[in-house]
Structure 1
Amino acid sequence: MRVARMSPVQKRRIFIALLLLMLVFAGIAGKLFWIQIATAESYSSRDINLVKNSVIQRQRALVLQSGRGQILDRHGKPMTGKMAKALVAFPIHSDYQMSRQDADRLARILQTSSERWLTFLQNLKEPQVWGAGESGAFAQLSDSQAGQIEALGLPNIKVVDMEDRYPAEMTARQLIGFIGQNPERVQELYGTDVAKGKMALTTKIGGSGLEKSFDTWLRGLGETSISYFTDAGKRPLAGLDARLIAPNNAYYPVKLVTTLDMDIEAKIEALMDKLGIKEGAAVVQDAEHGDVIAMASRPNFDQSDVRLSSNNWINYAVKATAPGSIFKTVVAAAALDEKVVSPTETFNCEGALGKYGFTCWLKGGHGPLTLEQGFAESCNIVFANVMKRLTAPQLERYANKLGVLNDVGWTGKTDTMEAFRQFDSEEPGQLFASHTPHDDEGVLMQTAIGQRDVRMTPLAASNLIVTLLHDGKGFEPRVVQEIQYQTGREMEKFPVKKLTSPDGVITAATSRTLLDWMREVVTDGTGQSLKGATWNLAGKSGTAQLQSGKQEKINQWFIGYGPVEAPKYAVSVVVKNTGPADKNQSMPLFKGIMDILAASGTSDSR
C-alpha cells in the first residue's frame, strides 16, 4: 500500500499548528508559574495574596480581642476591655458526632439542655462562641466551668479568654464613647496604613467620646484571634488544629489612664436612674486641679447597638444648653469687679419690671434687696437693674474670664499632634446669637438672667466653680492623665494646665465674695433643701425656660462646691427638658452626689 506523500504546504500547516499548540501550553505553564510562584503574594493590580487566601480557605478564625487599648479609671480599674472565659465551638468534618454522653456532661456544665447544645453544634458553619448574641455579648464561664470543660477533652471545643469591650455594668458610656465601622473616615485618617495593608477599610475605629479622640493611640497593632485549620473535608490538620494568632509586641495595646473614679461614677449614675432623670448630665471635678472625677449623661445607651439617629449616645456634659440663673454668677462677678454696685445699695422687686414683659420668678416680689440678697434669692429684677449699669462687651469679657464661652477641656500639643483636645465634640458657650442686637436693653436683661441666647455646658459650669475656688485662676479640666504602654511605662503625659483668657481673670476678692454668697444660697436662699446634706454645701440654682414648639420646657440646674470649710469638689448638674409643673430634681441630685463624695473619703488627685 502506498502512503500519500504530504505536500510542502501541508507540512507547513502542521508545523504551524504544532507550534501554536506548544505556545499555548507554554503560556498556560508560564501563567501558572507566575500565579503560583512569582506573584503568589501579590497577584493582580489589587495585590491579592494567593498564599494567604489559600490558607484562609482552610482557616476558620474567631476574633477574641480587638487589640484596642484599655481605658482605666484613676485607680487602674479597667472600664473597657474586660477579659472573660468563653466557650468556642468549631465546625469539623461530618463524620464526627458528639456522643450523647459527652453532650449531657457539657450541657450540665453550661447549665443548659443537651438538645439546645446539640442544635447549636449542628448549625455551625463558622467558629462560634456559645451564648453569643447580636449585641456582641456572650455567655461568660466561671473558672470552675472552664476547668470542667477542658477536662472533657472534646476535639471541637475550646475554652478561650475573650474580650468584652463594653461590659454590661460599664459606666460613663457617653464619655467613653463607642467604636464602629466608618470606611470614609478610616481612609481619611489612616489612608497610608490602608495602602500598606496594615489596616482594612472595615476596621472599627472610635465613633465618639474617648474612643474617638484617643483613637490614634487606642487602635493598637491588630486583633488576637483563634484559628482552626482544616483540610477540604473539614478534618483538623495535625498540629494545626487550634492556634492563637496575636501581635507579638510586649508594649501594646496601650492603657489610657483617666482621672475618673469608677466607683463614684457608678453610684452617681445609679442615683440619676433612681431619681428617674430621663435627660441630663452631672460633672464632678476635684477642687485641687479641676480633674474630672465623674461625668454622667442620660439617657443611657448600648455601645454594641448604636443608633446615630437617636440622641442617647450624645454626652450632654459637653453640650451647651440654656443655663438660667446660674449665669447670674457671671453678672455678679462683672458688677463686683467693675464696682457698679455698692454693697449696701438696695433694689426694689415688686414681681415685675414694668416693661419688656420682664418678671421675677416670685410673683408677689421680694421687696428691697441688696445684690448679695438678690443673688441668694435669685431675684430677676435685681439682676435686670444691675445689667443696666453694664455693657455687652463688659459682660462678654467676664464670661470669658470665667471660661463659660469657650471650650474649657484640656487642649495642647502632644508628641504626635500639634493641637489635641481630650473631650470629643465639646461645644463652646454663647452669649448672643449671630443676629441678636447686643445693645438692646430688653435683650441685655434677658441675657443677665441666663435666658434668650445664653448657652453653657455642664463642664464649663463646674469649671467656673473651680475657677472661683482658685481666686479666679482656673484650670483646663483633664479626663485623661497619661497613656501607658502595656508594660506600665509612660508613653504620653497630659500635665495639669491653667485656663487662660485674653481678657485675664476676675479678682481674688470677687471670687471669695461669690463663694460666700453661694453659701448664703443654701443657708437663706433658693438652695435651702440642701441643708440636710452630710457636708455643708454652697452653690447657685438655675431654672431656664425653653420653647419647644408650642410646649414650654425647663432646664433645672444647680452648681456648687463642698464641703464649705475645705472644698474638695466642684459639681454641676442639669436636668433637661422637664415640664413646668415637674418637681425640682437638680437639687436632690446635687445633694445626693455630694453625699456620695462625702462617703467616698478624700479625693485622690494625681
Structure 2
Amino acid sequence: MRERQLSAAEKRRMFIILIIILIVFIGIVSKLFWIQVAASENYSSRGVNLVKNSVLQRQKALVLDSGRGEILDRHMQPLTGGTIKALVAFPISKSIKVDRRQIDQLAHILRTSSEAWLAFSSNMKDPGVWGTSGGGKPVALCKQQEEQINGLQLPNVKVVEIEDRYPIGMIARQLIGFIGQNPDRVMQEYSAELERGKLSLTSKIGGSGLEKTFDFWLRGVGETSISYFTDATKKPLPGLDARMIAPDNVFYPLKLVTTLDLTVQQQIELLMDKLQIREGAVVVQDAAQGDIVAMASRPNFDPLQVNLSNNNWSNFALKATAPGSIFKTVVAAAALDEKVVDLKETFNCEGALGKYGFTCWRRDGHGPLTLEEGYAQSCNIVFANVMQRLTSAQLESYAHKLGVLDEVGWSGKTDAKELLRQLDSEDNGQLFAAHTPHDDEGVLMQTAIGQRDVMMTPLQASNMIVTLLHDGNRFSPRVVQEIRYQTDRVMEAFPVKKLDDGKKGVSAATSRKLLSWMQEVVTDGTGQALKGAKWKLAGKSGTAQLKYGKQEKVNQWFVGYGPVQSPKYAVSVVIKNTDPIESNKAIPLFKGIMDILAESLNRRQ
C-alpha cells in the first residue's frame, strides 16, 4: 500500500508552523537569557534586581551595628553606648526538631522560662534578638552564658556582638537625640544616596539632637549584619547558615568629639533627679571660650521608644520661655551704657507703682533704693522707673548686644556643608509679640521685668553671663569641637567663634559693673542662700509668672558665674511651670552644680 504524498499546499503549511514554533522558542530562550543574564540586575521599568531578590528570598538578615559614628565627651569617653553580647534567634522549618531538654537548658541559661523562650522563637518570620520583643532592649550576656549557649549547638541561635547605642542610664539624651525612620526626610535630604542604593526609605537617620545635625558624618559607610540562608522550606542551606557582613574600612565609623564633660553631666543629671525637677533645664559653659560643658533637660525620655507627640524628647535648654527678673540684666546694661541713671539717685518702692496694676514682689515695698540695690533686691518698681527713661528701640538693641534674642549656638561653613548649625532646633528669644505696641508705657514696664512677651532660652541666659565676663564680647558656644576618623586623625575641626555682627557690644565698664552687682545679689540680695557654696558665687535670680487660663504657674531661674575671684564657669538653670507655692529649687540646683564643678576642678588640679 503506497503512502499518500503531501501536497505542495500542505508542505507550505507545515513549513510555516515549524517557522512559528522556532520563532516562539527563540523568543522564550532570548527572554530567559535576558532575565537570567543580561538584565538580571535591572529587570523591568522598576529596576528590579533579580539576582539580589532571588537571594533575599532565602536570606534573612539582622542588623547588629548601624555603623553610625561614636559620640564622645571632651576626654574621649563614650556618650553613646558600645557593644554587648546578645542572643540572636533565626526562623527555621518546624520539621527541624529541637530537643526539649536543650530548650529547657537554654531557658535556664537565659534566666527565663521555657514557655517565654518558645513564645519568642516559635513563630518567627524574621531573625530576632532576645529581649527586644515589644520594643525592649537586648539582654546582655556574660562570658559564661555565651560559652554555655555555644555548648548547646542549637541550629537556630547564635551569640553575637550587637550595638547598644542608647544604654540604660545614658546621659544628655535630649542633646544627643535619637535615630529613627523618616521616609519623607530621606527622600527630601538624601535623594542622591537613595538613588545610589546607599540608603533605603526605611533606613534610620538622625531624628533630633546631634544625631540629626551631624547625621551627614555619623551615618557611616555601612551596617554590620548577620545573614542566615534557608531554602524555600526554611531549612538551613549547607555551608551558608550564618554569615557576618560588615564594611571593611579602617577609617570608619567616625568619632564626634564634643565639649561635654561626662562626669559633670552625669552628676548634674543625678542632682536634678534628686531635687525632683519635673520640667526644666541646665546649661554650663566654660567661661574662657563659651564651650558647653554640660546641657541637661527634664523630663527625660527613652530614645528607643520615642513618642513624637510627647515633648519630653525636646531639649528645653534650647527652648525659649519667660525669664522673669534675670532680664533686668539687659535693662541695667542699657541704663548704664546710655547713662540715663545717676548711680547715686534713689527710687522709692512702696510695693506698688500706682498705675497699670504694677506691683513689686515685696508687697510692703523696699523703700528708697539705688539702681545697684534694686538689682540686688530684684525690685520691680526700680526697673519700672528706669524703663521710663529708655525707648523700646534701645532695649531691643541691648537685648541683641547681650545675645538674648538671637540663636547663639555655633554655626558656620564646613568642607561638607554650606551651613552647619551644631544645635538642633534652637529658639530665638523674644522681646515683643507680633501685635504688641512697642512704645506703650505699661507694656514697657512689664517687659523691663522679663514678663509680658519676653522669652529667652537657658543657653542664651548662660551665654549672656559669658558675654559680660568678656567685657561685652559675645561667643558662639560650641558643643562639638572636632570630628575624627577611627584612626584619630582629625577630619573636621570647629574653631572657637565669636558672634561678630559688626555692631558695638555692651561696654567693658558696664559689663564689669554688672558682674560686681551680681556679687551683691549673693552677699546682700535674693541669692543669699548661695553663701555656703564651695566657691564664692555671683548671679541673678528670676521668677516669671505664667498664666494658662485661670491656672497660674511660675518659672524659677538663677544665672551666674563662679568662682568670683577667677571665673571658670557660667551657669543657667530654669525650673519650669512650678506651682507658685512650691519652694524655690533653682538656687539649690545652681549651688549644687557649682559645687560639682568645684570638685571636678579640684580633681583635675
Bin of the TM-score, shorter chain as denominator length = over 0.9
1:168 CA drift (Å): 1.6
Alignment partner of 1:281: what SS? strand
* Partners of 1:256 and 1:264 in 2: CA distance: 19
- Give 1:118 shift: 4.2
Counterpart amino acid of residue 353 in structure 1: L
Q: In the TM superposition, what is the alpha-carbon distance from 1:20 to its structure 2 partner?
A: 2.1
Give the distance between the partners of 1:543 and 1:189, measured in 2 at CA: 42
Structure 2 residue aligned with 1:155: 155
What's 1:165 paired with?
165
Q: Does 1:304 align with 2:334?
A: no
Instruction: Measure the CA separation in 2 of the matches of 1:35 and 1:148.
Output: 48
> What is aligned with 1:90?
90
Matches within 5 A, 1:422-441: 422-441=422-441
Task: Write the deviation string for residues 156-213 of structure 1: whole angstroms up to 9, x where unpaired.
Answer: 3221110112112111111111111111211111111111222112211111111111
The answer to whether the Cα contact below 8 Å between 1:568 and 1:602 also exists between their aligned partners in 2 is: no
State the Cα deviation string for residues 260-319 of structure 1 (Å, max 9, x = none): 112221221222222222211111111111111111111111112211112111111111
Residue 531 of structure 2 is matched in structure 1 by 531
Distance 1:199 1:604, change over 3 A: farther
How far does residue 472 in structure 1 lie from its aligned partner after superposition?
1.4
Residues of 1 paired with 2:162 and 2:136: CA distance? 11
Partner residue in 2 for 1:333: 333
Distance (Å, rounded) in 2 between the aligned partners of 1:436 and 1:154: 72
Report the equivalent of 2:504.
Answer: 504
Query: 2: distance between equivalents of 1:556 and 1:356?
Result: 24
- 1:252 aligned residue: 252
Partners of 1:196 and 1:11 in 2: CA distance: 57
Q: Which moved more, 1:91-100 or 1:162-171?
A: 91-100
Q: Distance in 2 between matches of 1:138 and 1:404?
A: 44
Is the contact made by 1:329 and 1:514 (CA closer than 8 Å) also made in structure 2? Answer: yes
Deviations 1:374-422 (A, max 9, x none): 0000000000111111111211121111111111100111111222110
Equivalent residue number for residue 204 of structure 1: 204
TM-score by length of 2: 0.96
Matched with 2:186 is 186
Matched, 1:265 2:258: no
Aligned position for 1:134: 134
Aligned residue number for residue 288 of structure 1: 288
Distance apart, 1:462 and its partner CA: 0.4
Quote the Cα distance in structure 2 between the aligned partners of 1:299 and 1:419: 31
Q: Which residue of 1 aligns with 2:74?
A: 74
* TM-score where L is the length of structure 1: 0.96
Other-structure match for 1:316: 316
- Please report how far the alpha carbon of residue 115 of structure 1 lies from its aligned counterpart in structure 2 after TM superposition: 4.1
Alignment correspondent of 1:549 = 549
User: Could you list the per-position Cα deviations for residues 224-256 of structure 1 after superposition, in whole angstroms to 9, with x for gaps in the alignment?
Assistant: 101112233433333322111011111111111
For each residue in 1:450-478, what CA deviation from the matched residue of structure 2 results, as whole angstroms up to 9, or x when unmatched? 11111111000001111111121231111
**Amino acid of the residue matched to residue 292 of structure 2?**
V
Aligned partners of 1:114 and 1:133: how far apart in 2?
Answer: 16
Structure 1 window deviating more from structure 2 (367-376 vs 331-340): it is 331-340
Query: 2:29 is matched with which residue?
Result: 29
1:135 aligned partner, one-letter code: G
* Aligned residue number for residue 375 of structure 2: 375
Q: 1:185 to 1:116 in 2, by over 3 A?
A: closer
Secondary structure in 1 matching 2:311: coil
The aligned runs of 1:462-477 (5 Å cut-off) are 462-477=462-477
Letter in 2 for 1:96: I
Residue 131 of structure 1 aligns with an amino acid whose one-letter code is: G
1:34-49 matches, cutoff 5 A: 34-49=34-49
Equivalent AA in structure 2 for residue 512 of structure 1: R
How far did residue 30 of structure 1 move? 1.0
Q: Aligned AA for 1:579?
A: D
Query: What is the DSSP-based 3-state SS (H/G/I as helix, E as strand, rest coil) of the residue aligned with 1:312?
Result: helix
- Residue type of the alignment partner of 1:356: Y
Q: Following TM superposition, by how much is the alpha carbon of 1:581 offset from its aligned partner in structure 2, in angstroms?
A: 1.9
Report the equivalent of 2:393. Answer: 393
Sort the Cα spacing of 1:99 and 1:54 in 2 relative to 1 into closer, same or farther, 3 A: same
Q: What CA distance in whole angstroms lies between the structure 1 residues aligned with 2:603 and 2:176?
A: 22
CA contact (8 A) 2:96 2:235 kept: no
8 A contact 1:286–1:603 mirrored in 2: no
- Separation in structure 1 between the aligned mates of residue 439 and residue 604 of structure 2, nearest angstrom: 47
SS at match of 2:381: helix
DSSP 3-state at the match of 1:561: strand
**Which piece of structure 1 moves more, 587-596 or 9-18?**
9-18
Alignment check: 8 A CA contact 2:88 2:158 kept: yes
Give the aligned residue type for 2:463: N
The residue aligned with 1:18 is 18
SS in 2 for 1:601: helix
Q: Aligned-pair distance for 1:555?
A: 1.1
Distance 1:603 1:441 in 2: 52
Unaligned runs of 5+ in 2: none
Aligned to 1:560, the other structure's residue is in SS state strand
1:33-68, Cα deviation, whole Å (9 max, x unpaired)? 100011111111222111111111121111100111
Distance 1:537 1:299, change over 3 A: same
Find the aligned partners of 1:308 and 1:153 in 2 and give their Cα distance.
Answer: 43
> What is the deviation of 1:434?
2.2
- The letter of the residue matching 1:545 is Q
Runs of 4+ with deviation above 6 angstroms: none
What are structure 1's unaligned runs of at least 5 residues? none
> Offset of 1:602 from its aligned partner?
5.2
Q: Distance in 2 between matches of 1:549 and 1:531?
A: 38
Distance of 1:292 and 1:197 partners within structure 2: 37
Q: Which residue of 1 aligns with 2:478?
A: 478
Cα distance change of structure 1 residues 503 and 437 upon mapping to structure 2, 3 Å threshold? farther
Q: Could you tell me how far apart the structure 1 residues matched to 2:602 and 2:283 are? A: 17
Local SS of the residue matching 1:160: strand
Q: What is the alpha-carbon root mean square deviation over aligned residues?
A: 1.8
The whole-number CA distance in structure 1 between the counterparts of 2:232 and 2:178 is 39
1:84-103 CA-to-partner distances (Å, cap 9, x unmatched) read: 11011223344433334433
Q: Measured at CA, do residues 547 and 604 of structure 1 come closer, stay the same or move farther in structure 2, by a change above 3 Å?
A: farther
Distance 2:604 2:297 in 1: 23
The equivalent of 1:356 in structure 2 is 356
Q: For residue 582 of structure 1, what is the aligned residue in structure 2?
A: 582
What is the one-letter code of the residue matched to 2:186? V
Query: Which sits farther off after the overlay, 564-573 or 528-537?
Result: 528-537
Matched letter for residue 226 of structure 2: I
**Greater shift after overlay, 579-588 or 362-371?**
579-588
CA distance in 2, matches of 1:182, 1:60: 23
Q: What percentage of residue pairs aligned between the two structures are identical?
A: 69
Distance in 1 (CA, whole Å) between partners of 2:258 and 2:213 is 13
**C-alpha contact (below 8 Å) 1:180/1:206 kept by paired residues:** yes
Partner residue, 1:414: 414
1:55 match: secondary structure: helix
Distance 1:573 1:220 in 2: 36
- SS of match in other structure, 2:575: strand
Query: Which stretch of structure 1 is more off in the superposition, 430-439 or 116-125?
Result: 116-125
Contact 1:400 1:501 in 2 (8 A): no
Please tell me whether the aligned partners of residues 120 and 133 of structure 2 are also in contact (alpha carbons under 8 angstroms).
no
Any idea what the Cα deviations from partners look like across 1:499-547, whole Å, max 9, x if unmatched? 2234322122211111111111111111112222222211101111122
